[in-house]
Amino acid sequence: MLCFFLGALGIHRFYVGKIGTGIVQLLTFGGLGIWALVDFIMVVTGNFKDAQGLPIKVTA
């Protein structure tokens, strides 16, 4: 949900502990939306990982 609604601000990256890329995403508005879209697709397909390398699971 964070990636969908606040992906352009990189909030989902701060949440999973990826502070550095979260700041970059915040400053570039999610890579002009492209980076945020790629992250959203990775979250939905189960390929997004947190700072420790553990996969993020989508729950209903």
6-47, pLDDT tens digit by residue?
Answer: 778 888 888 889 899 889 989 998 888 898 899 889 888 888
- Asked, for residue 28, whether it belongs to a domain, the answer is yes
Compute the distance between CA of residue 57 and CA of residue 25 in angstroms, rounded to an integer.
Answer: 22
- Asked, for residue 52, whether it belongs to a domain, the answer is no
Collapse the DSSP code of 48 into the 3-class scheme (helix H, G, I; strand E, B; otherwise coil) and give the result. coil
- Asked, for residue 50, whether it belongs to a domain, the answer is no
pLDDT at position 60 is: 65
Compute the distance between CA of residue 55 and CA of residue 52 in angstroms, rounded to an integer.
Answer: 9
Q: How many domains does the chain have?
A: 1
- Asked, for residue 51, whether it belongs to a domain, the answer is no
Compute the distance between CA of residue 54 and CA of residue 9 in angstroms, rounded to an integer.
Answer: 22
Residue 33 domain boundaries = 2-45
Is pLDDT at 54 greater than 80 in this prediction?
yes
Q: What is the pTM of this model?
A: 0.74
Residue 54's CB is within 10 A of a number of other CB atoms, namely 9
- Asked, for residue 24, whether it belongs to a domain, the answer is yes
Token digits for 20?
């550095």
- Asked, for residue 22, whether it belongs to a domain, the answer is yes
